[in-house]
Amino acid sequence: MIAGILIMASGDGESEDGRFPQIGDHWHASYSITICEGKEPPFPVSDGGVHTHGSGAIHLHPKNSSEAGKNANLARFIAGTGSRLTDRSIEFPSGVKLTNGDPCPDGQTGKMFLRVNNITMPAIASYVPRDGDIIELGYEKY
């Protein structure tokens, strides 16, 4: 019983969408980032247990608990690239930052979005990619 509580508290284990990546797993999800209809180039090679090799895939192979389970989320992946992601904003290493309500270059207001396997997800930064996911992330006009 105590072990069960500890597992829940650490944020690992199962969720409604299937289990989260654990230490020892090695999963891959493809991703693309679109800003105001313009596709961003894939991030270069990044560090950490949730990283990319530069080819538009997220590699999830957590090496410690800080990057496993619920911690293996998009915010962690993006942080490893030197960028920053919240549910309301994205900031690139170049300094370019977009926050919900900011205009796109044509003046139309936009907001952050996340679609996983074509389904719009309400939580963006905390989404944990699963093996085989197709992740579309970015900022779009509404």
* Angle at 55 (CA atoms; ends 52, 31), nearest 5 degrees: 70
Nearer to Zn ion, 59 or 76 (CB): 59
H helix or E strand, kind and range, residue 10: none
- CB atoms under 10 Å from CB of 58, counted, come to 23
Nearer to Zn ion, 14 or 131 (CB): 131
- Give the nearest distance from C-beta 91 to Zn ion in angstroms: 24
Residues 56-75 that bind Zn ion (CB under 5 A): 59
Nearer to Zn ion, 59 or 130 (CB): 59
Residue 130 touching Zn ion (CB under 5 A): no
**What residues make contact with Zn ion under the rule CB under 5 A?**
59
